[in-house]
């Protein structure tokens, strides 16, 4: 694989101090690659007094717990305690909706933990769990989305996104098509499985170390399970070995188990799931099903869309409602649809409670419209790329929920720039020539856009705090409410502080995220970590620099407005510089406050979740990708030959970090769309409802072999975003949807096996098996068996990688 990137630097941010705009490596990169980085479980295993927890998992997808006998387990050597519902002093619930009992009386999915065993060793706890005797009454279970829809098993709100009269729009459209589309979820498969470690100090204060994206909510759940106030519980998130949304809600119950065990035994308690436990007990990306009808005019412009989309929420609500709302708000992706009527529903099934996953419903909504366009383009006599280009938002357009699409001209500009950079016109001809020469290998090329809204659906979450300390020697310590899961947030926050205070990056250190330093934090999610926490860090630093400017002004004999901080020095207009440290010492001697609490709230957003109207997003992140694939007609396997990306991150806070996020998000999207096939046992066997793809041996993840053989990423230039920290834009989630280009390229390659002008239905994930059956249908539609056999003989001697 070859890769090219262009991490740009900001001319207004001096590279000498390596602040905002500098291409800095991840602040813990050396620790990661040497194995020196500490994670939650590393803290836990250092204490010899630590007890180890092991779950007793139910062997039914749906059952009533009739009796729970723990006597045999307690009698085993090394078993210290068996935690059950009777030990909960507070509320026996691990969620925020009141529908997730921590110790359930009714099992709701295969693998549901009914109690937890604490042992001196992990092996002792495991043996204890095997010795717990549970009497179950099996009940009927709904496993598939189709089963839940047929049974009308739904939960939560059923919002409707509506603009104009979709019925009239469809009736008047010259071209009208309908169809259905179901697609799968995705396992987070973070490198670090869920982990929590809890201990109690001499005053009864509970300290919880947790691999969590939402320390405040973990704190609140632990407190209500223990029956104490939040100030009795402190949660620290040192770092995570990946999160991707899977650690936004799901860690709370595990942290509560550890805390309950610590309170009950007086000893530290460690909860660390094995990979199989993690996959069988925790939520995934929501699968979706859609029924749709769409209308186009003679020019190929979208006129109306009616749809019903249903997500598989699993056994409890978790975050399914906001995930569905975001899916509805992204059903348009980058396209103007004048008349829209879409009903959203959440199915209740007997599976793990599906949860946040990078994109948070946005990818699911966008995939539906991309699939519609990919299927309808041939029926309209247009290439898919041309159909997409004609329907892109333009300046002055408004989304179906009433938000103006600011900077919509960037979509067309990004599209045109990418076509030029990637030499798309010439490569289309090359693909056609290749396909004409090869009967059993075909290539496809596709270009797809992304428009992704940035902010939390829940308006109150769009706030953040920070605590910045400047010490007497001029060194700086930052505390902020965001969590580091490998995405580089801490790196960006150091760069923001270095720029705001005008000091070298080495002078800034970042402390672990803790609820006793910055309270009431929002989850690190919705791609908003840098926007929110960066705003709060900058606010705190600016408070301090304003105070220091007054001190420096007196020393330099200038007005405070004429004081400048840069590269560790403080200057007044026309004066010799003094060091930042000298000014700080002067400030201390003058009793000037050298620390500050920063705060940031996102302005200008509002949302009515019932009416599905408002401006829920601060801005839109734009991008586009063009991908080329080659499909083997005998197996359905494909090679990803080349991907070119042009993505809008505003004025990048940290270009190297942003390019890495774009590359990683894209590859994770490719995994979801082409490889990662979650399977449950849908039969009538005793194992009905069991996750079948519960390990790396049965769940295929993207690896180096799935990377594009040529991979180029460029950051969109001259893209300042007003009102956001240093003009930057979020980068965590939007790049994942760039992978639509790979799926649509596969559709194009499959179509090349069949007759011209035919519509190709492509399942998702488009695994080799799914692609094989799709291309077989295309070949059958072409109906030329003799020609195919001849081509097979001619091609047999050619190397598989031939061009």
**Spatial CA neighbour of 478 closest among 543, 536, 531:** 536
Closest CA to 251 of 227, 216, 302, 288: 216
Give the SS3 label for residue 662: helix
Q: Is 728 helix (H, G, I), strand (E, B) or coil?
A: strand
Query: CB under 8 Å to 430, separation ≥6 — which residues?
Result: none
Q: Are 356 and 249 in contact (CB under 8 A)?
A: yes
Given the residues 484, 628, 733, 744, the one annotated as active site: 733
Burial 172-194 (b: 16+ CB within 10 A, else e): ebeebbeeebbbbbbbbbbebbb
- Cα angle 196, 198, 201 (rounded to 5 degrees) comes to 160
Q: How far apart are CA 485 and CA 492, in angstroms?
A: 13
User: Residue 499, by phi and psi: left (phi above 0), alpha (psi -120 to 50) or beta?
Assistant: alpha
Counting DSSP H helices and E strands in the chain, the numbers are 21, 30
Structure tokens at 611: 């009416």
Q: Is 733 a catalytic residue?
A: yes
Burial class (CB in 10 A: 0-12, 13-18, 19+), 573: exposed
Q: Taking the CA of residue 30 as centre, how many other CA atoms within 13 Å lie in the half-sphere pointing to its CB?
A: 2
Instruction: Return the structure tokens found at 586.
Output: 């002067």
Q: Is 646 helix (H, G, I), strand (E, B) or coil?
A: strand
**Chain centroid, CA 251 distance in Å:** 16
Spatial distance between the Cα atoms of 757 and 762, rounded to a whole number of angstroms = 16
**SS3 per-residue string spanning 424-443:** HHHHHHHHHHHHHHCCCEEE
Catalytic center residues: 733
């Amino acid at each position: 694989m070859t890769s090219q990137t262009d991490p740009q630097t900001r001319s207004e941010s001096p590279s000498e101090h390596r602040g905002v705009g500098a291409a800095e490596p991840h602040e813990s990169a050396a620790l990661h690659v040497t194995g020196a980085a500490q994670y939650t479980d590393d803290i836990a295993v250092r204490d010899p007094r630590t007890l180890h927890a092991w779950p007793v998992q139910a062997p039914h997808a749906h059952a009533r717990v009739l009796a729970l006998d723990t006597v045999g387990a307690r009698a085993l050597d090394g078993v210290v305690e068996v935690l059950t519902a009777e030990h909960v002093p507070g509320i026996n619930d691990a969620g925020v909706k009141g529908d997730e009992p921590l110790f359930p009386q009714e099992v709701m999915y295969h693998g549901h933990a009914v109690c937890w065993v604490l042992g001196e060793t992990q092996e002792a706890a495991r043996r204890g769990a095997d010795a717990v005797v549970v009497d179950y009454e099996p009940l009927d279970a709904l496993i598939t989305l189709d089963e839940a829809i047929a049974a009308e098993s739904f939960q939560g709100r059923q919002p409707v996104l509506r603009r104009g009269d979709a019925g009239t729009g469809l009736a008047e459209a010259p071209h009208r098509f309908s169809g259905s589309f179901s697609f799968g979820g995705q396992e987070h498969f973070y490198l670090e499985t869920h982990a929590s470690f809890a201990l109690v100090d001499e005053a009864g204060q509970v300290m919880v170390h947790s691999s969590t994206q939402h320390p405040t909510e973990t704190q609140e759940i632990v407190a209500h399970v223990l029956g104490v106030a939040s100030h009795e519980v402190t949660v620290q998130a040192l770092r995570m070995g990946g999160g991707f949304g899977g650690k936004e809600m799901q860690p709370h119950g595990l942290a509560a188990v550890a805390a309950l065990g610590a309170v009950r035994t007086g000893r530290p308690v460690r909860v660390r799931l094995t990979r199989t436990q993690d996959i069988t007990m925790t939520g995934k990306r929501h699968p979706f099903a859609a029924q749709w009808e769409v209308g186009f005019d003679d020019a190929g412009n979208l006129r109306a869309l009616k749809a019903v989309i249903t997500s598989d929420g699993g056994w409890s609500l978790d975050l399914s409602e906001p995930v569905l709302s975001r899916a509805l708000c992204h059903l348009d992706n980058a396209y103007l649809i004048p008349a829209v009527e879409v009903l959203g529903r959440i199915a209740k099934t007997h599976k793990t409670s599906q949860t946040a996953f990078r994109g948070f419903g946005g990818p699911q909504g966008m995939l539906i419209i991309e699939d519609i366009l990919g299927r309808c383009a041939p029926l309209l006599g247009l290439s898919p790329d041309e159909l997409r280009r004609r329907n892109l938002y333009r300046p002055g357009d408004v989304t179906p929920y009433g938000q103006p699409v600011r900077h919509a001209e960037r979509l067309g500009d990004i599209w045109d720039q990418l076509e030029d950079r990637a030499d798309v016109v010439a490569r289309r001809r090359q693909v056609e020539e290749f396909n004409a020469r090869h009967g059993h290998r075909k290539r496809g090329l596709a270009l797809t856009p992304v428009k992704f809204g940035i902010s939390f659906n829940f308006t109150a979450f769009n706030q953040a705090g920070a605590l910045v300390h400047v010490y007497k020697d001029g060194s700086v310590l930052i505390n902020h409410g965001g969590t580091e899961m490998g995405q580089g947030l801490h790196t960006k926050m150091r760069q923001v502080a270095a720029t705001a205070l005008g000091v070298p990056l080495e002078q800034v250190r970042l402390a672990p995220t803790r609820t006793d330093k910055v309270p009431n934090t929002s989850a690190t999610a919705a791609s908003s970590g840098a926007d929110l926490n960066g705003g709060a860090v900058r606010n705190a630093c600016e408070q301090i620099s304003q105070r220091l400017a007054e001190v420096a002004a007196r020393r330099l004999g200038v007005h405070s407005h004429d004081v400048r901080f840069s590269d560790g020095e403080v200057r007044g207009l026309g004066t010799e510089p003094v060091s930042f440290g000298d000014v700080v010492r002067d400030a201390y001697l003058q009793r000037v406050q050298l620390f500050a609490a920063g705060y940031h709230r996102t302005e200008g957003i509002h949302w009515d979740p019932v009416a599905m109207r408002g401006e829920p997003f601060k801005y839109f992140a734009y991008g586009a990708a063009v991908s080329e694939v080659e499909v083997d007609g005998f197996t359905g396997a494909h090679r990803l030959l080349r991907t070119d990306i042009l993505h809008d991150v505003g004025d990048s806070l940290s270009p190297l970090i942003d390019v890495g996020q774009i590359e990683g998000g894209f590859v994770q999207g490719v995994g979801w769309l082409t490889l990662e096939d979650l399977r449950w046992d849908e039969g009538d066997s005793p194992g009905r409802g069991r996750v079948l793809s519960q390990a790396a041996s049965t769940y295929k993840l993207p690896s180096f072999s799935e990377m594009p053989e040529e991979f180029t990423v460029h950051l969109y230039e001259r893209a300042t975003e007003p009102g956001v920290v240093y003009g930057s834009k979020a980068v965590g989630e939007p790049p994942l949807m760039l992978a639509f280009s790979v799926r649509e390229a596969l559709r194009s390659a499959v179509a090349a096996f069949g007759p011209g002008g035919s519509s190709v239905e492509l399942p998702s994930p488009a695994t080799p098996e799914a692609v094989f059956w799709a291309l077989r249908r295309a070949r059958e539609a072409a109906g030329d068996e003799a020609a195919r056999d001849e081509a097979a003989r001619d091609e047999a001697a050619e190397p598989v990688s031939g061009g």
